[in-house]
Homo-oligomer: A and B are copies of this chain.
Amino acid sequence: MIKFADQFQYFEKFKKSEFCLPDSWIVVRLDGKQFTRFTDFHGFDKPNDIRALELMNRAAAKVMEEFEDICLAFGQSDEYSFVFKKDTDIFNRDRDTISSVVNSLFTSAYVFFWEHYFGYTKLLYPPGFDCRVVLYPCDSSLRDYLSWRQADVHINNLYNTAFWTLVKKGKHDRRKAQEILRGTVSRDKNEILFKDFGINYNNEPLMFRKGTTLIRKLVRCLKDDNCRECILQLHCDIIGDSFWEENLEILRQESPQLFHKPDGMVSYEVKSVSAVNVSNIAEE
């Protein structure tokens, strides 16, 4: 055996550290591991379980509360992506540490807050998430990535909504429902929902159709008219330019700006996950 005095130095040689390239957006993306089984065991509502999505959002908000350099997070289903500012120096940009601590804290919060959202539906066994870091050097590729994830929400949710409507309301078995949907495009699925079941897909909740976007904003509260930084939970389009224009500080890596309630609330469904209650947000 090697001598004690030399040990640390000896073992350091086996350790491999990798540092995230500077000047690049660090995206930490996590996904539920074997969540098909997990959702079955815990009787999740299909196609969307509001409790489960709220729990995901709560766990993600916890991660953002801990890491101030996360400027945006986007989640859907059992996945979440966290965007660290390009110039963050968190953990000296050590790839393994960033990835593991974010994932561990998220998982931990998921189990910790489970009871709050699921109540009497007990957690039967500990779930797991896998995780990896991906770097995006320029703003446009970061936006491409987030657009890709949100486009994915749309594709999956439209399919799942049609599928579970056929199964639950149409009384088809699952195989038959799959068969009906095979080869259909978006318009076909919209039509099946509307003609056969009177469902206008565009009236489905925004959270289901757009996923959840968490960002930091200053919010003026009605009760005391003070501004507070809080993490806002939005269900809006982030593919087009308007989101990025209304929240210029994100790509500019600047500090959170005052939140302006968008007119008519078409694209935004605001929900605070931090201290303030959204109904108390003052109009600017």
Chain A interfacial positions (CB closer than 8 Å to B): 1-2, 4, 7, 10-11, 13-16, 18-19, 21-24, 30, 33, 62, 93, 96-97, 99-101, 103-105, 107-113, 123, 125-138, 141, 143-145, 147-148, 151, 239
Interfacial chain B residues near A132, Cβ < 8 Å: 15, 96-97, 100
Asked whether A126 lies within 8 Å of B138 as measured between CB atoms, the reply is: no
Interfacial chain B residues near A33, Cβ < 8 Å: 101, 104-105
Known: A126-B108, A148-B7. A30 touches B134 (CB 8 A): no
The CA-CA distance from A138 to B86 in the complex, in Å, is 11
Known: A2-B144, A14-B136, A148-B7. A109 touches B97 (CB 8 A): no
CB proximity of A235 to chain B, nearest CB, Å:
20
Known: A104-B104, A137-B137. A4 touches B151 (CB 8 A): yes
The copy count of this chain in the complex is: 4
Asked whether B137 lies within 8 Å of A112 as measured between CB atoms, the reply is: no
Name the residue among A14, A23, A148 with the largest chain B CB count within 10 angstroms: A14
Asked whether A134 lies within 8 Å of B1 as measured between CB atoms, the reply is: no
Known: A112-B126, A132-B96, A134-B15. A104 touches B105 (CB 8 A): no
Choose from B4, B7, B137 the contact partner of A138 (Cβ within 8 Å).
Answer: B137
Known: A107-B108, A112-B123, A138-B23. A100 touches B130 (CB 8 A): yes
Interfacial chain B residues near A239, Cβ < 8 Å: 1
